[in-house]
Structure 1
């Protein structure tokens, strides 16, 4: 699940929700060395050999009453925190605000690579029995579970190189925002270790505390993790069946519809009214069909009564999709359009589907935060009010873009891009 700060690479399509956070790039991460002190019968926090950050040592001491009131024992607390120092990578990454925006076509090329598709197909066979039972137990299609596993950690290939408790303690101590959130996640992580679900030394995850094969935050682990094999542990770190079952349970609890797809790639007719593609208008597939929308493969919609929302991830210059309920369930895992599209497309590819049919017009590059702010300011100056120029694209900005595009005889898709920004600057 995505890091809450969206560092190093921003994927267009929305910000992540708190319950679903994961890291993106983790180059240059250092090895984790945590000294584990001796147990104590009562709380007596000890430092080892001169802490390099006295403020962090003080934070650990002052946090003890909070942990104790949540049921954490002195024995657990001392064993975990004795000698711990802040995670320097966490501090570095939480402070880094990248302006780079990866175009969705580059994101999809990486996320749904041929290598990842082939690996997913191999694992579909290898874990056939487990996946069948998970599908039967939770009603979540196996390829969707596999696709999330592939997206989150490349099927367990990289689950992070940070100790989760050290990372969360660092964030609770040093993060400029959401301090209460990080403190609650830290207490929950301590409780997971104390209950014996994972050893402290094996509690690996991202710099922001996302854990295991499918990158649950501690609070998500508490609410949705599953004990697939009945051994009393919900081990998403070393038990692949537990991790996959936990993912399926998460999707089930958020409304997954069994046996239904996430959406359809579609073709729009000439003269289509792009005001209908606002990302919110919900119609049945039969109603969308009456607007002239067809599947790109020429087949009909299996259930015309299913509701769908028309989504154009790159505006009129890229492929179009009718997104169904399951697409938005995937977005509960990570609230980014590009992520959910990649999961759905990877799931399709794993069970034999082909590449997307539409082409991306790659000159329509997405805007950085500062470029978006500039675009909003220009729209406001030209009388197309979008509200505050804050670098965030919301409904007001899209309405302003559409109004400007209509005034210039352009396709009113409401999509911000470097081409649109250039047009605003030059008038052509």
Structure 2
């Protein structure tokens, strides 16, 4: 598609010339027409081609980025002409008898999820990462109060310590989700805006940055808004680089700190015991908040070991193949889930970090 708005201006100018009481000289008229044609041809060269051609939402977005953030319009047209529509790529999933895509399980769900992140090779990667970046992790702890094992846990779950930064171009992901009627279109439009600002301010090429299916980037898989809000230049080299492990460590620590991490609270989650093998009567998950006294008195749920934290706890259920495992999550557990709003995510970060810490200091 080519932008034709300048044609309106050209037509208006010709009409004004024609309506003039004094007949213009041919030389002047010729110069005006030459300038108009030149201007029209210049603007005709602007336009989005490729997968997002004729996408009016994208045209409006480009114009807004030009007006509000002083982006070069021609450069944005060129960038988006190379973007790919990822909706054309088939999604592979498990299909049930009704032909429906199945992504959720019940019994054994935790065992399957845990196995994707807590395995020997990833544990060894985490131990090595901790050893190589011990000074940086300690500095992050002293500056932000975040225990090293939770930063290490995040990095292991997000990218296996830099092994997997993501296999999709961020510009493709964010353009597809923001311009093609994704249910979270407004969210991803904001992320696309911040991504372009991030790339420009950091002197990065937005057409080549790789990330996840949601447009997250770097060691800690920050989405663009998190980069602008929480990323820090922790190695003080003048560049805030999500692909630099030192900056990633400091940025994750700052994220937790800004989201309410309590440095005085060292307990994050603790195993609980109860009667029976399945917990079905109580609502569970990171959003829940129960009085410890009520859980103990009314439901017989008690921690396996003394819990010094006296505040409300989240009741966490981990469905295993033969029984449900219950845990109690403290305030800092809920802070971890602000990074990814998922109970299993918070628990696998906790368990991976704790396992790496134990193995590092006991082997």
**TM tier, shorter chain?**
0.7 to 0.9
Give the match's secondary structure for 1:187: helix
Contact 1:159 1:211 in 2 (8 A): yes
Change (3 A) 1:295 1:95: closer
- Write the distance in 2 (CA, Å) between the matches of 1:148 and 1:61: 37
Report Cα offsets for 1:324-348 as digits up to 9, x if no partner: 1111111111111111111111111
Change (3 A) 1:345 1:289: farther
- Write the distance in 2 (CA, Å) between the matches of 1:207 and 1:271: 36
Matched, 1:343 2:346: no
Normalised TM-score (structure 2) = 0.73
Q: Report the counterpart of residue 51 of structure 1 in structure 2.
A: 50
Q: Report the counterpart of residue 107 of structure 1 in structure 2.
A: 113
Larger helix share, 1 or 2: 2
Normalised TM-score (structure 1) = 0.63
- Write the distance in 1 (CA, Å) between the matches of 2:125 and 2:277: 42
Q: 1:68 aligns with which of 66, 69, 94?
A: 66
Q: Report the counterpart of residue 175 of structure 2 in structure 1.
A: 169
Contact 2:316 2:326 in 1 (8 A): yes
Give the match's secondary structure for 1:322: strand
CA shift, 1:203, in A, is 2.0
Give the match's secondary structure for 1:134: helix
- Write the distance in 2 (CA, Å) between the matches of 1:63 and 1:343: 37
Q: Report the counterpart of residue 257 of structure 1 in structure 2.
A: 262
- Write the distance in 2 (CA, Å) between the matches of 1:271 and 1:159: 39
Report Cα offsets for 1:257-310 as digits up to 9, x if no partner: 2251321012225799975665534224797489754544xx433x15243233
Give the match's secondary structure for 1:351: helix
CA shift, 1:244, in A, is 1.7
Q: Report the counterpart of residue 305 of structure 1 in structure 2.
A: 310
Count of matched residue pairs = 307
More displaced 10-residue stretch of structure 1: 262-271 or 204-213: 262-271
**Aligned CA-pair RMSD:** 3.5
Q: Say which one has the larger Rg.
A: 2
Report Cα offsets for 1:169-210 as digits up to 9, x if no partner: 222221332322222211111111111253335522123211
Contact 1:197 1:235 in 2 (8 A): no
Matched, 1:231 2:237: yes
In structure 1, list runs of 5 or more residues that go unmatched: 1-41, 355-428
